[in-house]
Chain A
Amino acid sequence: MNIGVAITGMGIISAIGNSVDETFDALVKGEKAITTVSNIPTVHAAVMKVGEIKKTNDELAAELGLSPDNNFSRTAMIGALAAKQAVQNAGISLINEYKTGLISATSVGGMDTTEKHYYDYFDNPELVKYISAHDGGDVAQKIAEEIGLKGFVTTISTACSSAANAIMLGARMIKSGKLDRVIVGGTDALAKFTINGFKTLMILSDTYNTPFDNDRKGLNLGEAAAFLVLESDEIVAKENKKVLARVSGYGNANDAFHQTASSENGEGAFLAMEKAFEVSGLKPSDIDYINVHGTATPNNDLSEGRAVIRIFGEENVPDFSSTKPFTGHTLAAAAAIEAVFSILAIQNGIVFPNLNFKTPMAEFNMVPQTAIKHKNIDHVLSNSFGFGGNCSTLIFSKN
Chain B
Amino acid sequence: MEALKQELKEKIIAVLNLEDIAVADINDTDALFGDGLGLDSIDALELIVLLDKDYGIKLTDPKEGKHIFQSIDTMSSYIAANRTK
Whether B62 and A200, one on each chain, are in contact in the complex, defined by CB atoms closer than 8 angstroms, is no
Interface hit among B3-11, B21-29, B42-50, B67-75: B42-50
Considering only residues 26-72 of chain B, those with a C-beta below 8 Å from chain A are 40-42, 45, 48-49, 61-62
The reply to whether the CB of A94 lies closer than 8 angstroms to some CB of chain B is no
Q: Please encode chain A, from 240 to 274, with 1 for each CB lying within 8 Å of some chain B CB and 0 for all others.
A: 00000000000000000011110000000000000
Number of interface residues of B (CB under 8 A): 8
Q: Which residue of B lies closest to A201 (CB)?
A: B45
Considering only residues 193-208 of chain A, those with a C-beta below 8 Å from chain B are 200-202
CA distance A259 to B49 in the complex (A): 20
Whether B48 and A202, one on each chain, are in contact in the complex, defined by CB atoms closer than 8 angstroms, is yes
Number of interface residues of A (CB under 8 A): 7
CA distance A202 to B58 in the complex (A): 12
Whether B41 and A202, one on each chain, are in contact in the complex, defined by CB atoms closer than 8 angstroms, is no
Shortest A191–chain B CB gap in Å is 20
Shortest B79–chain A CB gap in Å is 19
Residues of the A chain whose Cβ atoms lie less than 8 Å from the Cβ of B62: 202
Whether A200 and B41, one on each chain, are in contact in the complex, defined by CB atoms closer than 8 angstroms, is no
Which of B42, B48, B61 makes the CB contact (< 8 A) with A260? B42
Known: A201-B45, A202-B48, A258-B40. 9 other contacts (CB 8 A): A200-B45, A200-B49, A202-B45, A202-B61, A202-B62, A258-B41, A259-B42, A260-B42, A261-B41
12 contacts between A and B (CB under 8 A): A200-B45, A200-B49, A201-B45, A202-B45, A202-B48, A202-B61, A202-B62, A258-B40, A258-B41, A259-B42, A260-B42, A261-B41
Instruction: Give the interface of A toward B (CB within 8 A).
Output: 200-202, 258-261
